[in-house]
């Protein structure tokens, strides 16, 4: 997949094109990307995505912006897995926010990206003050000679699949619901960095996974699996939060204890898949109490995976 930053002045050929934030790359996004890939094959052109960094709502109201579901690297990896050929990462700033809808069509879609076929959601708005809509885009398509397709919202159990729905499920600890909306377990990827060594002192050595943002969409203690250590994901238990027993005002930290694995994973890039929330984060009176609770968390996580294995075995036999 070819990745470029900024908007090209002139396209090097026609593309099948879509635009969006694609935060989380959920089932709704997957439907768009599948449709985009089919159109690209039909026209014999690259499948192209324009996305933004930072998220527009982070630019306009950083204190009220939603939590990120994916880092930029995670989003790009997911886009590549769905067959996207090119991604243009547009820096969302004041100058871009002032581009009029008509100018966006002519300068960005037509001249810059060579859009032959454009796919948007049925509620798509674009340009300064969100003045552009599907009607304007279809009218411009007749003038410039490209095609427009609109994809209706993807629904799941009567709910519109959206990044907001995923965030709400994660914040509520409803990981099964988040998995349904995403089509996969929610995950956080990052490089293992040095921690303070407290987990090892307590008898539970942990891998500290670096996060790109300090506002994770979920907190608590979880049964997880970790990819990137062995040829298959390894089960474990993770703590994601500010560690109130250890620090009075700490930044969120993702720590993972892998069962029966005492190995230095420093600098390894791993993916942590969240399967089940065990409990909320709590503050304990002392480290001895915390240590006993960690032991119970480990046993509860192991019990969860035993139930999962039993269910999978039962399903395979049916």
Pick from 149, 176, 196: which residue ends a domain? 149
- State the pLDDT at residue 312: 83
Residues 6 or more apart in contact with residue 154 via CB below 8 angstroms: 27, 28, 31, 160, 161
Pick from 121, 149, 177: which residue ends a domain? 149
Query: Domain limits at 261?
Result: 185-317
- State the pLDDT at residue 134: 93
Convert 213-240 to b/e letters by CB count within 10 Å (16 or more is b). Answer: eeebbbbbbbbbbbbebeeebbbbbbbb
| CA–CA gap between residue 186 and residue 24 (Å, rounded) | 9
Mean pLDDT of 73-78: 95
Examine residue 209 and state whether it is found in any structural domain, yes or no: yes
DSSP per-residue string spanning 174-216 = -HHHHHHHHTS-EEEEEEEE---SHHHHTT---EEE--S-S--
In three-state secondary structure terms, 114 is coil
Examine residue 104 and state whether it is found in any structural domain, yes or no: yes
| CA–CA gap between residue 86 and residue 43 (Å, rounded) | 16
Please, which pLDDT band fits residue 139 given cuts at 50, 70 and 90?
A: very high
Mean pLDDT of 32-38: 97
Total domain count for the chain? Answer: 2
Examine residue 177 and state whether it is found in any structural domain, yes or no: no
CA dihedral 20, 22, 2, 12 (to 10 degrees): -10
- State the pLDDT at residue 197: 84
In three-state secondary structure terms, 255 is strand
Give the least confident one: 215-224, 235-244, 246-255: 246-255
Q: Do 233 and 288 fall within a single domain?
A: yes
- State the pLDDT at residue 60: 74
- State the pLDDT at residue 306: 95
Examine residue 176 and state whether it is found in any structural domain, yes or no: no
The two three-digit tokens of residue 138, written as one number: 């279809």
Which CATH number covers residue 17? 3.40.50.620
Tens of pLDDT, residue by residue over 51-69, are 988 777 777 777 778 899 9
- State the pLDDT at residue 198: 85
Tens of pLDDT, residue by residue over 282-311, are 999 899 999 999 999 999 999 999 999 888
Q: Do 72 and 122 fall within a single domain?
A: yes
The sign of the CA dihedral 137, 140, 142, 144 is: negative
Tens of pLDDT, residue by residue over 179-225, are 999 999 999 999 999 988 888 888 899 999 999 877 899 999 999 99
Please, which pLDDT band fits residue 260 given cuts at 50, 70 and 90?
A: confident
Pick from 132, 149, 166: which residue ends a domain? 149
- State the pLDDT at residue 28: 96
- Percent pLDDT > 90 in the chain is 75
pLDDT of 230 higher than 80: yes
pLDDT of 46 higher than 80: yes
CB 67 within 8 A of CB 217: yes
Please, which pLDDT band fits residue 170 given cuts at 50, 70 and 90?
A: very high
CB 119 within 8 A of CB 30: no
pLDDT of 6 higher than 90: no
- Is pLDDT larger for residue 91 or for residue 147? 147
Q: Do 39 and 95 fall within a single domain?
A: yes
Burial of 58: CB neighbours in 10 Å, binned 0-12, 13-18, 19+: middle
pLDDT of 317 higher than 80: no
What is the reported pTM? 0.93
Burial of 242: CB neighbours in 10 Å, binned 0-12, 13-18, 19+: middle
| CA–CA gap between residue 27 and residue 306 (Å, rounded) | 28
- State the pLDDT at residue 314: 79
Examine residue 234 and state whether it is found in any structural domain, yes or no: yes
- State the pLDDT at residue 157: 94
Q: Do 190 and 305 fall within a single domain?
A: yes
Examine residue 64 and state whether it is found in any structural domain, yes or no: yes
- State the pLDDT at residue 88: 94
How do beta strands 159-160 and 186-193 pair? unpaired
Q: Do 141 and 11 fall within a single domain?
A: yes
Q: Do 141 and 196 fall within a single domain?
A: no
Examine residue 106 and state whether it is found in any structural domain, yes or no: yes
Neighbours of 110 (CB within 10 A): 18
| Backbone phi and psi for residue 101, each to the nearest 5 degrees, phi listed first | -60, -45
Which CATH number covers residue 278? 2.40.30.30
Q: What is the mean pLDDT of the chain?
A: 92
């Amino acid at each position: 997949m070819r990745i470029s930053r900024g908007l090209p002045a002139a396209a090097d050929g026609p593309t099948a094109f879509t635009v969006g934030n694609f935060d989380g790359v959920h089932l709704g996004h997957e439907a768009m990307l599948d449709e985009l890939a089919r159109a690209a094959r039909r026209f014999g052109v690259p499948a192209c995505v324009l996305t933004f960094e930072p998220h527009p709502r982070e630019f306009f109201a950083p204190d009220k912006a939603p939590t990120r579901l994916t880092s930029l690297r995670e989003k790009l990896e997911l886009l590549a897995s769905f067959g996207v050929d090119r991604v243009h990462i547009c820096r969302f700033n004041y100058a871009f926010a002032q581009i009029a809808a008509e100018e966006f069509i002519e300068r960005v879609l037509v001249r810059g990206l060579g859009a032959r076929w454009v796919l948007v959601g049925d509620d798509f708005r674009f340009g300064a003050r969100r003045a552009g809509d599907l009607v304007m885009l279809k009218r411009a398509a007749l003038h410039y000679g490209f095609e427009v397709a609109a994809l209706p919202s993807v629904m799941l159990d009567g709910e519109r699949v959206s990044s907001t729905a995923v965030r709400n499920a994660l914040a509520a600890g409803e990981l099964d619901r988040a998995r349904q909306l995403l089509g996969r377990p929610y995950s956080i990827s990052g490089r293992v960095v040095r921690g303070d060594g407290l987990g090892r002192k307590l008898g539970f050595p942990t891998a500290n996974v670096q996060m790109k943002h300090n506002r994770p969409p979920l907190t608590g203690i979880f049964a997880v699996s970790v990819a990137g250590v062995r040829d298959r994901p390894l089960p474990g238990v993770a703590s994601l939060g500010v560690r109130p027993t250890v620090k009075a005002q700490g930044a969120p930290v993702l720590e993972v204890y892998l069962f029966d694995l005492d190995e230095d994973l420093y600098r390894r890039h791993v993916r942590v898949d969240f399967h089940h929330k065990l409990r909320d984060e709590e503050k304990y009176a002392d480290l001895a109490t915390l240590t006993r609770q960690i032991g119970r968390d480990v046993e509860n996580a192991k019990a969860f995976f035993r139930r999962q294995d039993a269910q999978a075995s039962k399903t395979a036999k049916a």
